[in-house]
Amino acid sequence: MTRVARPSISMAPGLLAKFHSGCGGCALSTLEFRPRQNWTFPSASTLNVSRFSGARHAQMVNGSIEEEAAVKHQQHGTKAGFTLIELLVVIAILGTLAALVSPMLGLASRKALLSTTKQEIQRLTLAIEGYQGDRGDFPPTSLADEYGISSNDIDSGSESLVAHLASLATGTVYFEFKEEYLENLDADRIADIEIEERLSWVFGDDQLREYVDPWGHPYIYFHNRDYRIVFTVTSGAGNSTQAKASMSEKTATYHSPTSFQIWSCGPDGINQNGSGDDIVSW
């Protein structure tokens, strides 16, 4: 800024005296003219600087706004990117958990089926013993022994067990068979109305049914007098195999030598005559 001195009013002493006397003692006569302080005016360069500073300020403000918008845009993009990454991480975690949980679920399901099979064998055992208590003997291994039924000799032990435990000859059945476990895997029938009437079973047809385990394999049944006989049995897949009564490896004697044997082929469906993963009554 350039300071410009304002001119002050000054009078010679004689003129001042005349002015004073001519004024007649008025207020102006006492007026004293003194120099005023210098006034300050902005210079052209200052105005240019100010004008430049204002423009610069506007540019800075606009730049700040644009920069802030760019930062927000970048942050938004970064946030979206992290969201995608987080989604991928969550998917990976879920996949890992599924891989860990699936075997556990399979193991739990296997244990449940094993438990169900053991319970069914216990129920069958009680029913067989109840039948023996009323009839004086356990159900035969084959219907041919008592009724002379000529069948295909497949699954005869299971078919005989179902036929006798479902009989109403004594006024009541000995076992309530679960419908989902009743099958006729070898598709054979009695084909004799007289024998069907003698059996007096609860079924409304002449099919020779087997009772199967949760894996679809018929339970294998032996009366003690038939322990030395080999019988043909089927699996849920329709394959046939040979079955014989189970013996103890330590004593080389039959298990339950004076009663009966009943077992399931277990989860693998392979008959091992009471060993391996077979589930047994003894």
Question: How many other C-beta atoms can be found within 10 angstroms of the C-beta atom of residue 19?
Answer: 13
Q: Left if phi > 0, otherwise alpha if psi is -120 to 50, otherwise beta: which for 273?
A: left
Give the Å distances, CA to CA, from 12 to 7, 9, 22, 34, 35: 16, 11, 15, 14, 15
The pLDDT of residue 37: 52
Check residue 30 and give its pLDDT: 46
pLDDT at 211: 98
Distance from chain centroid for Cα 123: 34
| Sequence spans of domains, the chain | 117-280
Q: What is the CA radius of gyration of the chain?
A: 56
Distance, in Å, from the CA atom of 266 to the CA atom of 272, rounded to the nearest integer, reads: 9
Q: Report which residue type is found at 33.
A: F
**For 47-66, how does the pLDDT look when each residue is reduced to its tens digit (9 = 90+)?**
454 554 555 555 665 666 66
Q: Looking at residue 279, what DSSP letter applies?
A: E
pLDDT of residue 16: 47
Distance CA 55, CA 153 (A): 109
What does residue 174 show for φ and ψ, rounded to 5 degrees? -95, -15
Segments of the chain scoring below 70 in pLDDT: 1-82, 150-151, 236-238
Residue 114 CA to residue 106 CA, distance in Å, equals 12
pLDDT of residue 59: 60
> What is the DSSP secondary structure assignment for residue 8, as one 8-state letter?
P
Quote the pLDDT of residue 249. Answer: 93
Q: Tally the residues of the chain.
A: 282
Which pLDDT score is estimated for 74?
59
pTM value is 0.65
Tell me how far apart the alpha carbons of residues 122 and 259 are, in angstroms, rounded to a whole number.
14
C-alpha to C-alpha distance for 263 and 121, rounded to whole angstroms: 7
Residue 17's pLDDT is 46
pLDDT at 114: 96
Residue among 152, 134, 136 at smallest CA distance from 144: 152
